[in-house]
Amino acid sequence: MEDQEAISALGALAQEDRLSAFRLLMAEGPAGLPSGTVAARLDIQPTRMSFHLTTLERAGLLTARRDGRHIHYAVDYQRMRSLLGFLMEDCCGGNPAVCSLSTGTISTAQKPGCV
């Protein structure tokens, strides 16, 4: 991942509604959700939510697919992994033990829906 791609992705996440939508979609897994469902679950006006979801899609963090009149959004897990890898690339002088993401919680590999 290049610097500008990371800046775009991090900038897209640096807004409360977008971060909430991204986290909701992370929990939903690869199937994602229609934009209207995301808006309803987060109690955000659908037009405002569509704007935020489009911003996340343009930053490469979400994928979108049309299903009739609805647009389903889902996290682009590979892109998210790339962003995390970019952030951790030079971590702690190359000592991976220091940079462990382990927090004592269930790893993402064990959570339902995580890829």
What pTM, to 2 d.p., does this model score?
0.79
pLDDT at 94: 66
For the chain, which domains are there? 3-110 (1.10.10.10)
Residue 74 pairs in a beta bridge with: 63
**Residue 109 and residue 71: Cα distance in Å, rounded?**
27
CB contact at 8 A, 46 and 39: yes
Q: Which parts of 1-115 fold into alpha helices (H)?
A: 3-13, 16-28, 35-42, 46-58, 77-88
Residues 9-18 have pLDDT tens digits of 999 999 999 9
**Residue 70 and residue 37: Cα distance in Å, rounded?**
10
Q: What is the mean pLDDT of the chain?
A: 85
CB contact at 8 A, 55 and 18: yes
Number of H helices, E strands in the chain: 5, 3
Tokens 């109690």 correspond to 43
Residues 44-71 have pLDDT tens digits of 999 999 999 999 999 999 999 998 888 9
- pLDDT surpasses 50 at 88: yes
103 band by pLDDT with thresholds 50, 70 and 90 = low
**Residue 65 and residue 63: Cα distance in Å, rounded?**
7
89 band by pLDDT with thresholds 50, 70 and 90 = confident
pLDDT at 96: 64
100 band by pLDDT with thresholds 50, 70 and 90 = low
58 is written with which tokens? 């343009």
pLDDT at 106: 41
